[in-house]
Amino acid sequence: MNFKPDEKNIRSLLKSGCQFVIPRFQREYSWDKKNYQEFFEDMINNLVASSGVINDDQYFLGTMLFVGNFAEKPDKPIEVVDGQQRLTTITILFSVLSDRFRELGEDTLSKQLFNYITTTDDNGEKVRVLQSKSSYPYFVYYIQDREKQIPTVPSTEEENCIQETYEFFLQQTAENSLKKLLKKRTGDDIVNSLSYVDILKALRDQVLDCTFISIAAADKDQANRIFAILNAKGKRLAYIDLIKNKIFEILKDGVSGTFAEESWNDIKMTLNSSSETVGMATFFRHYWISKYKKCNASMLYDSFNKTIHPNESSYRNFLEDFLLNSKNYMKITNPKREDYDNRREYFWLVQSLNTLNKTFNVVQTRIALLALYDIKGRNLVSTDQFKKAILAIENFHFAFTAVCSMRTNNLEKIYSRFAIALRKCTNKSEASKIIDEKLIVPLGKLYPSYDVFSAKFKELFFTKKRGSSKC
């Protein structure tokens, strides 16, 4: 791979004359309070105050990965592959600091700082230095407009994150709050001798002078390879970003690009459609080992690459099935009678699923249940066999989990093997056989003995306390 790492600081990056675009395949802004609070405290703790003067000190932000040529400047936008969360957070903080300067009557300082957020091109037209499609127009109105044309209320999880980050920075940069934080490090006398404006300017400079290693890849394929390497030892959820990246890279143009974006957003909305939301990573893993292969989270990206052929047709089919399964997953994890038009013949199903999720608190069952819902939707299992399988799972976990509190590492493997085999069946007779041989028989071998069950059952007592481990 031919690329050249380069040391930069935030000032030179945002003043480079380039526009930075967050591509569709990137995850939305998702930093929580722990993340942006840590960033803010790092900035404050790096300030050095003495003799009535406050200065910033060097701080390293890590590595950022881009696609594009910085020398081309406005001619072609630079894509942000790794660094979105940090750049978005910095943009939000600069918006807050600009507002603070303006409140203090320091309009020149406010405008100068805002040039790092929104600048002008050679024609005098406004250009947003950081452009994100997923958060448009909320991010533009709420953060990148000095007049703060605030829309109604946040309508997405990302918009909530943006607003919460802004409100946090606004609170922390109030004069009393800011000086209180500084006093913890430098003492009352030193801080009291500093003006509020000077502290804000020092905080601004601290962020602008932050350094990082910039890696500019020549094309998206190279960037993806570098990104995979950089994230090989990253966070547990990194595989989700890598998979999304891969899909959106293939389905990037025209109708396919729109389809990919809309499908992914529909999946996210589905998983967040209930009061009890489900994380994309949790759902993906259960879906994957229910249909393709049992593997650890760390191996999911590699498994995806080896299993799903990287072309438009394969990825479109994958997303369609992924969306369908997300709807089934929510019916499994948050069952309601309304899901079945309040039909009495499904009351037992809602009760069983609620028992598995809320009373027994087991999640491995979702692997098997996803497959059962799949073949039920394809009319490859009779109603009696469908009910037989689910009640078998419920009865097993009543004895194994609820009464005896037993644990085993084999359950996920059993459910995965059953689910994968069940999804491949072609008729009801075959499905019935798989339910017996790959679900009921293996679970039967794990049942506690009569003596163990009897002893544990006698230890139970009734309680009205919600969420109790006892019946």
- Which tens digit of pLDDT belongs to each residue from 411-461? 999 999 999 999 999 999 999 999 999 999 999 999 999 999 999 898 877
Report cis status (omega within 30 of 0) of the bond before 137. Answer: yes
pLDDT given for residue 471 in this prediction: 45
Per residue in 147-193, pLDDT (tens digit) is 876 555 676 778 888 989 999 999 999 999 999 988 887 777 788 88
Find out whether 8 and 212 touch, Cβ atoms under 8 Å: yes
pLDDT at 9: 94
Which of 256-270, 341-355, 375-389, 451-465 is least confident?
451-465
Q: What pLDDT score was predicted for residue 463?
A: 60
CA 362 from centroid of its chain's CA atoms: 23
Q: Give the model confidence (pLDDT) of 44-65 as tens digits.
A: 988 887 777 888 888 889 889 9
Confidence band, pLDDT 50/70/90 cuts, at residue 230 = low
**pLDDT confidence of residue 232:** 56
pTM: 0.59
Question: How many Å apart are CA 421 and CA 83, to the nearest integer?
Answer: 41
Q: Could you tell me the pLDDT band of residue 71, with boundaries at 50, 70 and 90?
A: confident
Mean pLDDT score, 271-289: 87
Q: Which residue has the higher pLDDT, 256 or 325?
A: 325
Q: Which residues pair with 50 in a beta bridge?
A: 53
Helix (H) or strand (E) holding 189: helix 188-192
Give the mean pLDDT of 230-235: 52
Helix (H, G, I), strand (E, B) or coil at 118: strand
CA distance 365 to 289: 12
The average pLDDT across 183-204 equals 87
End-to-end C-alpha distance for the chain, whole angstroms: 61
Phi-psi category of residue 333: left, alpha or beta, with phi > 0 → left and psi -120 to 50 → alpha: alpha
Closest CA to 92 of 160, 21, 37, 163: 163
Minimum mean pLDDT among 52-66, 122-136, 342-356, 422-436: which range?
122-136
What backbone torsions phi and psi does residue 11 show, to the nearest 5 degrees?
-60, -50
Q: What is the pLDDT of residue 353?
A: 96
